[in-house]
Amino acid sequence: MRIVVDGVGASYGAKEVLRDISFALNPGEVVGLVGPNGHGKTTLMKRMLNLIPGTGETTFDGKPYRLLTRPQLAVGSLLSAEGFHPGRSAMNHLRMIGAASGISRRSAEFALDRVGLSEYATKSPASYSMGMKQRLALAAALMTEPQVLILDEPINGLDVDGVYWFRNTIRSLAGESKTILLSTHILSELEKLADRVLVLHGGDLRADCPMEELKTTTSGPAVTIAVDRPREFAARLRAEDGLIVTFNGESLVIDGMTARDVGTLANKLGFTLFELSTTLRTLEDGYNDIVGRGVHESQCRGSGGKP
């Protein structure tokens, strides 16, 4: 199912939270949504599902969520790991959701087994740990076998085994042509999982990039070099070449040059070289380039593109 978000905006009172957000999601894609707390990620997901008012529109294969014939079967969502009735067991909680969705009671059993909670099926979620509540919320999102998953912080509270399970489950679902949008603050895990990344900051969409492109959206790999007079070498690089040079202990980290060029320059200027290596950039580096250094908007656009 193809999703098109077109000109979406939202406000809380006089505060504008989202401004003219537009992007598209394609079947088989895992797209990560990242940004600081309070910059619109959850609000965007709620707007996509028509849970709050605002401007613009989101369509699912050409239809707004409210006009889908059976929206529960088309879109599974996780916006909170809370909201369970303390008097109901986990099994009854899922059976209630299944009944409202028009699916069989056995779907609840299958969903609990899928997330590893079968032995806790008769217990109240009030007794669950945060990670177990997160798994139950994921079970509710998955139990209708939806074509689309919209998941807000689904990794939050999961232990190491849970994160590994989640990663494999999501990649498997993408292989079944599901369309998946998820937010997380755990960028190292998202780097292993997502095909594309959307960066929200200050209510604006700052970037819509393929994962590998976002890592190098403003600069290439960093070069680490150790020389006999590091502070003098750093001053020469900054003064003559205008390069970004930082210290890591006594080593220098240089953006904007290849290892070959840095080594050649050090030799030419008469510095003794002790170490020279290239460090591949990460999602965190690309994210910080856009958010931390105030880049207004990245030039890259993902395969979904802007409608």
Strands 244-248 and 148-152: unpaired
pLDDT at 303: 47
Pairing of strands 55-60, 30-34: unpaired
Q: What count of other Cβ atoms lies within 10 Å of the Cβ of residue 190? A: 23
Strands 30-34 and 196-201: parallel
pLDDT tens string, the chain, 307 residues long: the values are: 999 999 999 999 989 999 999 999 999 999 999 998 888 999 999 999 999 999 999 999 999 999 998 898 999 999 987 778 888 999 999 999 888 888 888 899 999 999 999 999 999 999 999 889 999 999 999 999 999 999 999 998 888 988 998 999 999 999 999 999 999 988 889 999 999 999 999 899 999 989 888 876 555 667 899 999 999 999 988 887 677 888 888 899 887 788 888 899 999 999 999 999 887 777 887 778 787 655 445 556 554 554 5
Q: pTM for this one?
A: 0.80
User: Are both 3-216+286-290 and 222-280 of the same fold?
Assistant: no
DSSP, collapsed to helix, strand or coil, labels residue 5 as: strand
Tokens of 228: 């006999």
Question: Backbone dihedral region of 202: left (phi > 0), alpha (psi from -120 to 50 degrees) or beta?
Answer: left
DSSP-based three-state secondary structure for 190: helix
CA separation for the pair 152, 77 (Å, rounded): 8
Specify the pLDDT at position 82: 78
Give the sign of the dihedral formed by CA 130, CA 179, CA 203, CA 9.
Answer: negative
Contacts of 194 (CB under 8 A, 6+ apart): 30, 31, 32, 182, 211
For 3-216+286-290, CATH number out of 3.90.1640.10, 3.40.50.720, 3.40.50.300, 3.30.565.10 equals 3.40.50.300
Answer yes or no: are the C-beta atoms of 180 and 31 closer than 8 Å: yes
Q: What is the pLDDT of residue 232?
A: 93
DSSP-assigned letter for residue 85: -
Locate the domains of the chain by residue range: 3-216+286-290, 222-280
How far is residue 273 from each of residues 50, 103, 253, 269, measured CA to CA in Å?
60, 68, 14, 11
Question: By 3-state DSSP, what share of the chain in percent is helix, strand and coil, each rounded to 5?
Answer: 35, 30, 35
Residue among 245, 226, 225 at smallest CA distance from 235: 245
Residues 6+ apart with CB under 8 A from 11: 17, 54
- Closest C-alpha among 26, 67, 42 to residue 210: 26
* Cross-strand pairs, 64: 59
How big is the CA angle at 64 (ends 61 and 65), to the nearest 5 degrees? 100
- CATH class of the domain whose range is 222-280: alpha beta
Residue 74 and residue 72: Cα distance in Å, rounded?
A: 6
